[in-house]
Chain A
Amino acid sequence: EDQVTQSPEALRLQEGESSSLNCSYTVSGLRGLFWYRQDPGKGPEFLFTLYSAGEEKEKERLKATLTKKESFLHITAPKPEDSATYLCAVQASDFNKFYFGSGTKLNVKP
């Protein structure tokens, strides 16, 4: 069964304190792994797509990496505006279906 697990469920950081969020997956034939950011009262907003093990992508303070079993979202020197829920999703062998993790709620305190 295709499954996506994110950890931790919640993370509190001080401004400037770097950390990583984890997304582990069990899918039949990974086609793509996606990271989204979700702010309260809004829909998820796309951040990154990764397609193969070893791939990395960066955007400002965020860096996403992918292995054969998991993905990490590294946050370097976070700011309060990085506070949000971060969602991981995978697209498996059936191109039409997407499986989401339950998210990591990040709170960055000034």
Chain B
Amino acid sequence: EAQVTQNPRYLITVTGKKLTVTCSQNMNHEYMSWYRQDPGLGLRQIYYSMNVEVTDKGDVPEGYKVSRKEKRNFPLILESPSPNQTSLYFCASSLKYGIGKNIQYFGAGTRLSVL
């Protein structure tokens, strides 16, 4: 089954404790992206990756890091989480990033609470 898998689904942590949210896709997609979803603000893009070893900032990259060492995986790293990073996070992937191939498929989400 074609899917984007995020882990964990739920996470409660404390300020300053490094964490990683994993994302894996089995569709051989080139493009992957991370979003956060907050009430009233919609989905905002954190980072994206056009291919292995190629990543760039979205609209809200502060406090986050990413890496793309393999095509299928795109982990999101919070090196020193703060309470304002409490949010619902989604990973997405698409075949490519050009017109006609840019339909994004989303994971089920990771709900993060930073105390």
- Closest-by-CB residue of B relative to A2 is B59
B80-115 interface code vs A (CB 8 A; 1 in, 0 out): 000000000010100001110011111111000000
A1-34 interface code vs B (CB 8 A; 1 in, 0 out): 0001000000000000000000000000001101
Contacts A43-B4, A43-B108, A97-B59 known; A103 to B42 CB distance under 8 Å? yes
Decide yes or no whether B2 CB sits under 8 A from chain A: no
Interface segment, one of A55-63, A71-79, A88-96: A88-96
- A73–B3 Cα distance when bound, in Å, is 26
Nearest first, the 8 A-B pairs at minimum CB distance are A43-B106, A100-B43, A102-B42, A100-B42, A95-B97, A44-B106, A46-B103, A43-B108
Which range holds the interface residue count of chain A? Answer: 20 to 34
- The interface of chain B, by Cβ under 8 A from chain A, is 4, 31, 33, 35, 40-45, 48, 50, 56, 58-59, 90, 92, 97-99, 102-109
- A54–B104 Cα distance when bound, in Å, is 23
Decide yes or no whether A87 CB sits under 8 A from chain B: yes
16 other contacts beyond A42-B108, A95-B102, A97-B45, with CB at 8 A cut-off? A32-B102, A34-B103, A34-B104, A41-B108, A41-B109, A43-B92, A44-B106, A51-B99, A87-B42, A87-B43, A97-B58, A98-B45, A98-B104, A100-B44, A102-B41, A103-B42
